[in-house]
Structure 1
Amino acid sequence: MSQETEKDLEQTQNEELVEEAQSDEKKDQEVDPVEAAQAEAAEYKDKYIRAHADFENAKKRLEKDKMNAVAYANESFAKDILAVLDSFENALSAIEGANKENAAEVLEKMQEGVKLTYEQLKKVLEKNSIKEIESKGTFNPEVHQAIMQVDSDEHKTDDIVQVMQKGYTIKDRVLRPAMVSTAK
């Protein structure tokens, strides 16, 4: 063989070796599509598990907040009503300290104290959206409960004659209907 042919053959073999090496590198660089899909699926699964855990934690936190809101919903009202309780306790203490000599004075102060306590209680109820039901005029079955009917020349049929027990609403809901007597 000639020297040129040997060189060509050698060069061809070298080129083939280089191509094989490059091909092996490409194979190493090329990711198997199945492996790539599995890796991507694993990544999505991990993200899903984390998102689901976050969702469950948020759900538990909201449930706990809801339970606390229900459990302590009346806390503000209870604090307000404690002032009224204090007023009653003060009144009871004043009664216990009364004797025959100052009975008239204590009675007068008690009357004044009861009126003030009554007004204080009405303010607490009003602050908490509890209002007295108007019980004058015509009977309304949505807010009144008729206890009895009476004959009355002064009132029209179904007019409220007398209020036996006041009724109250909280916002737009009836807490307790007013118990009334109506005209026949």
Structure 2
Amino acid sequence: MTDKDEIKKLKDDLASLKSEIQEKDEDIQVKDEELQKKVDEIQTKDQDIEDYKDQVQRLQADFENFKKRSEKDVKEYIKYANEGLILKILDVYEDFERALETEKSDDLKDGVEIIYKKLTKILEGEGLQRIQCEGEQFDPFKHEALMVEDSDDFEDGTVLEELAKGYTLDSKVIKYSKVKVCKKK
């Protein structure tokens, strides 16, 4: 092989290497661009994660504040829940005071009767109802049996006598009637 052929071969090899290097450079550029896209995606996702984390922390703080505010509101509500009822009863309370200050027993009795009617009206207006007992069938959900007695005049399980009154507030029993019940031997 001559020098010319050798130089030509070297030139061809050099051109082939340059072409390969250029292809590799292009591949590297493509890979760099893809890598940069992945880095950008990761940074975006990291920023999203930080944003979500901040949002969760704010929501947790808001929830804690809401919880504290709700507990405070419930405590306030419980503390002043009876305010309306007490305001209604205050007039009756003052009427009792005035009735006790009177010196005439007839006026006292009339005053107490008026006060009793006012108080009854207020309590019934709030949903208080007296439980009816005498002559009724014993109901353990409304009555508490304190005594039993055998009686030929009544059926077994009939309430013979009311020993203490019972009451419901709307449909809930708040004080059971204490009763004497007929129990056949």
Please provide the CA RMSD for this pair. 2.4
CA distance in 2, matches of 1:139, 1:127: 27
The SS at the match of 1:111 is helix
Equivalent residues, number: 148
Cα deviations by residue, 1:79-110 (Å, 9 ceiling, x for unpaired): 2222221121111111xxx2xxxxxxx22211
* Residue aligning to 1:84: 92
CA distance in 2, matches of 1:82, 1:118: 13
CA distance in 1, matches of 2:47, 2:87: 59
TM-score, with structure 1 as normaliser: 0.70
* Residue aligning to 1:164: 163
Structure 1 pair 126–32 and aligned structure 2 pair: CA distance change class (3 A):
same
Which runs of no fewer than 5 residues in structure 2 stay unpaired?
A: 1-28
Counterparts of residues 15-164 of structure 1 (less than 5 Å): 32-94=40-102, 98=103, 106-137=104-135, 138-164=137-163
* Residue aligning to 2:3: none
* Residue aligning to 1:18: none
Cα deviations by residue, 1:99-155 (Å, 9 ceiling, x for unpaired): xxxxxxx22211111111111111121122111001132222221122222344433
Structure 1 pair 33–108 and aligned structure 2 pair: CA distance change class (3 A):
same
Q: Which has the larger radius of gyration?
A: 2
The SS at the match of 1:44 is helix
Structure 1 pair 148–39 and aligned structure 2 pair: CA distance change class (3 A):
closer
* Residue aligning to 2:177: 178
